[in-house]
Structure 1
C-alpha cells in the first residue's frame, strides 16, 4: 500500500474559499466537459473494472464511462484537493483505512444506499462494517478485499484452526512471516487489539501490548526459517518445501493455489486483518446519479464480482461469487462466510501510534 501525501491545510483553504463564494452573487459559468449528462468519470486501479462489464453498462445506460487509472491513494487525494469544489472525477477508489483523510477534507460524499437497489447483493460482512461507517455515515461501495491468512502445505499440515500452529514445535524451522504484519496478528492471538483502535490516548496500554507480542515472537524465534518481505519469497519457500506454514497475504497464496500447489489459505479462529477497496462518490461530483447507476450494476450479478476477482487478484465482496468461479479459482479467492467475518479490516483510527510502535518492535525482533 502506498503512503498518502497529506495536504490538509491546502484542502481547508480550498473549501474555505468555496464556502465564502456561497454569499457572492451567482455567476453563470460554462458547464465543464466532464459534467455532460451521459458521462461518468472514474478514477480507479488497473484491472478493477472489467472492460466487458463497462461495455455492457455503457450500452444499457447510454453513459460513457471515462476511466482514469491511478496507482496511489495520495495521487487521488492530491487531485481532489487541487480541484476543490469543481472535481473532474465522479468516483475515486479509496481503501477503507485511508478514509479519514479524504472525509476530513470534505472530498467524499456519504453513500446513499437507498439509491442502490442491489445493495442486498453485497456480502453482509461488508454492508455495514465498522471500518466503513465514519461519523454515522457509510462512504463507499466495497468491491475488492485483500487479507492476511494462514497458508499451509496441506500435504504436511492437514488442519490449522488456530494461529497456535505457527508455534507448534513439530514445525520448528518450517514457518515464515512478515514480522511487522504478523506482530499485529500475534497481538490478537494474545488477546490484545492489533489494530490499536482501542488504544487512542492510551500509549502505555498500547506499548505494553506491543511489547508482549514482541517478546513472544523473540521467544519463538527458533520456529522461523526466514523472515520475508516480498510475496515472491514466501511463494518460493512453499514451492521448495522449505516451509510448511506461513503468514501470507491472500494474493501470493492465491497464485500458488491457482498454479496447482497443495496450499490452503484460511483465517484461524483468533481472526486476522485485511483491507478493502471501495468506490466512492466525490463531493460535488458532476455526475453523481450516474455513479449510483454504476454501483447498482456492479452488484447486479455475481458474474461481475467473479470477473473483477479474476483480473485483479483480490477477493470479491459480492454474494454468490464462489458459485460462479471454477473450483480452483474458488479455492484461491474465496473463504467460508464464518472466516470472512473473522477479518478485521484496517481502520484509519490511531495509525500513527500503531506504525511507530510496530516499526520499533519489528526492528527489535529482527535484532534479537
Structure 2
C-alpha cells in the first residue's frame, strides 16, 4: 500500500464532495428543483456511481465464480452500508456539529424520506424474492429483474415532478465562480455577464461534472488501496466484498451527508442516503440478477451472510420509514444503524 496515494485519494474524495454538494445545490436553484430532486436523485445518483462500477468491473472483467461472488457481495453490501453505517454517520454528525446547529436532532421533510423508503422497500423486497427463487424458475427471476429499472424511472419522474422547490437560504457562492471572479477584473465580469451575482449555467454544470469525476477517481484509488491492504494481510474475499469495499465506495454519500448536516440542510443529508438506497436496490441489483445466478442458499456460510445483509437492510429501512413519520429524527434512532452494523460484523468474524 502507498500511504501517500491512500491519503491523497481520501483528500480528493472529500474535496470532490464539497464541490459536488455546492454544485448540486446551485443546479437545483437554477432549474427550480425540489429538495427531493436535489438530494434523492441528483446527489444520490452522482455519488452512487463509484460503488456501481465495482460490481460491473468484477462481473464483466474479472469474470468466473470469483467475479460473480465479489460482484454480488458489492451489490448487496451497498444498501446494507447505506442503511446502517451511513445512517450511523449521520447520527455522529449531529453530535459533532451539535454546538454549531444548536440541536441534537435532524429536522427533515418526512414525506420526501418516506417516499424514498417506500420505493426502496419495494425494490429490495423484489431483489430478495429473486435471490430465493429456485434456479428452475429462472424466467420468473429475470422478469423480476426487468421490473426494477422501470420502477426506478417511475421513482425519478415522480420525484422530479413533486415537492416544493428547495430554499436557496444559506446557499454558498459557486466555488468555481468565486475563483473566476478573483482571477478576472470585476469590470470584465460586469461587461460580459448581465447579472454578476449569478453564475452561468454552464459553469454550474462544469463544477458538478468535474467534482463528480474527482469523486470517482478518488473512490477508485481508495478502493485499490483497500484491496491491496486486504490482499497483503490475507483478508477473506467475503469481508472485502461485503464490508471493506462498500465502506470505501460509500464515502461520497457519507461525506455529502456530513457536509449538509453541518449546514443544517437535513433533508438533503438523509435524502442523499435514501435516494442512493433506491438507486442501489434497482440499477446494480438488475445487473446482478441478469449477469449472475443471483441465488442464495442459506445452508452455505457465505450466502447466509449475504442473506443477512438483505434482512438487515430491509429492517433498517422499515425502522427509518417509521421514524420519518415525525419532523425530527433523533440521534438515538440514527445510532441504531451502528448497532446493526456491529452485530453483522461480529457475525462475520464468528463465521469465517
**TM-score of the pair, normalised by structure 1:** 0.25
User: Structure 1 or 2: larger strand share?
Assistant: 1
**TM-score of the pair, normalised by structure 2:** 0.26
User: Structure 1 or 2: larger helix share?
Assistant: 2
| RCO comparison, higher one (Cα < 8 Å, 6+) | 2
Highest Rg: 1 or 2? 1
